[in-house]
Amino acid sequence: MPAALNAHVIDATQANFETEVLNASLQQPVLVDFWAAWCGPCKQLGPILEKLAGEYAGAFRLVKVDTDKEMALAQVFGVRSLPTVMLIRDGQPVDGFMGALPERGVREFLARHGIQPGAAAAQDVPVAELPPETPAEAVNRLQQALAREPDKAELKLELAQAFMRAGNTRAAAAELDALPANLASDDRARVLRSRLDLAATIEGAPDVATLRARTAADGNDYAARDLLAVHKLVDGDSAGALDDLLALLADARGWNEGQAKKRLLAAFQVIDDAELVARTRRRMTSLLF
Residue 172 has pLDDT above 70, yes or no: yes
pLDDT tens digits, one per residue of 175-217: 999 998 888 888 888 888 988 999 999 988 999 999 999 999 9
Q: Which residue in 213, 143, 208 sits closest to 175, CA to CA?
A: 143
Confidence of residue 3 (pLDDT cuts 50, 70, 90): very low
Task: Give the number of domains in the chain.
Answer: 3
* Pair 197, 158 in one domain: yes
Q: Rounded mean pLDDT of 124-147?
A: 73
pLDDT on residue 118: 63
How far is it, in rounded angstroms, from Cα 145 to Cα 143?
A: 5
Residue 72: which H helix or E strand, with range? helix 71-76
Confidence of residue 96 (pLDDT cuts 50, 70, 90): confident
What's the confidence (pLDDT) of residue 216? Answer: 95
pLDDT class of 5 with cuts at 50, 70, 90: very low
What pLDDT does 116 receive? 86
94-125 burial: b if 16+ Cβ within 10 Å, else e: eebbbbbbbbbbbbebbeeeebebeeeeeeee
Task: Please tell me which residue in 10, 24, 31, 42 is annotated as part of the active site.
Answer: 42
Q: How much is the pLDDT for 236? A: 83
Please check whether residues 103 and 161 belong to one and the same domain: no
Q: Give the CATH number of the domain where residue 148 resides.
A: 1.25.40
Question: What is the pLDDT averaged over residues 19-33?
Answer: 91
How many C-beta atoms lie closer than 10 Å to residue 2's C-beta? 8
Domain end call among 150, 172, 201 = 201
What pLDDT sits at residue 114? 87
Residues 23 and 60 in one domain: yes
**Domain extent at residue 60:** 3-129
Q: Indicate the residue among 129, 156, 182 that finishes a domain.
A: 129
Q: 163: exposed, middle or buried (C-beta count within 10 Å: 0-12, 13-18, 19+)?
A: buried
Does pLDDT of 126 surpass 60? no
Q: Are residues 195 and 263 in the same domain?
A: no
Residues 231 and 156 in one domain: no
Catalytic residue among 39, 142, 189, 224: 39
- pLDDT for 289 equals 80
Same domain, 45 and 120: yes
| One-letter amino acid of 92 | Q
76 and 139 part of one domain = no
Q: How confident is the model at residue 70 (pLDDT cuts 50, 70, 90)?
A: very high
Q: Is pLDDT of 4 > 80?
A: no
- How far apart CA 216 and CA 282 sit, in angstroms, is 28
What strand order describes the sheet that includes 30-35? 9-11, 61-66, 30-35, 84-89, 92-98
- Do 124 and 36 share a domain, yes or no? yes
Are 39 and 151 within one domain?
no
What's the CATH code of the domain at 21? 3.40.30.10
Give the phi and the psi of residue 85 in degrees, each rounded to 5: -120, 130
What pLDDT band is residue 103 in, cutting at 50, 70 and 90? Answer: confident
Q: Of the residues 185, 201, 217, which one is the last residue of a structural domain?
A: 201
Q: Per-residue pLDDT tens for 245-257?
A: 999 999 999 999 9
- Do 235 and 271 fall within a single domain? yes
pLDDT at 133: 76
Give CA–CA dist 289/276, Å, rounded: 20
pLDDT confidence tier of residue 149, bands split at 50, 70 and 90: confident
User: CB under 8 Å to 271, separation ≥6 — which residues?
Assistant: 233, 238, 242, 277
61-66 and 30-35 strand pairing = parallel
Q: What is the per-residue pLDDT for 154? A: 85
Active site residue 164: no
Residue 53 CA, chain-centre distance (Å), reads 24
* 42 classed as catalytic: yes
Q: Are residues 152 and 262 in the same domain?
A: no
On average, the pLDDT of the chain sits at 87
Q: Which of 41-50, 109-118, 212-221, 273-282 has the lowest mean pLDDT?
A: 109-118
Q: How far apart are CA 236 and CA 100, in angstroms?
A: 29
- The proportion of the chain whose per-residue pLDDT surpasses 90, expressed as a percent, equals 45
Claim to verify: residue 93 and residue 146 sit in the same structural domain: no
Which of 97-101, 171-175, 256-260 shows the lowest mean pLDDT across its residues?
A: 97-101
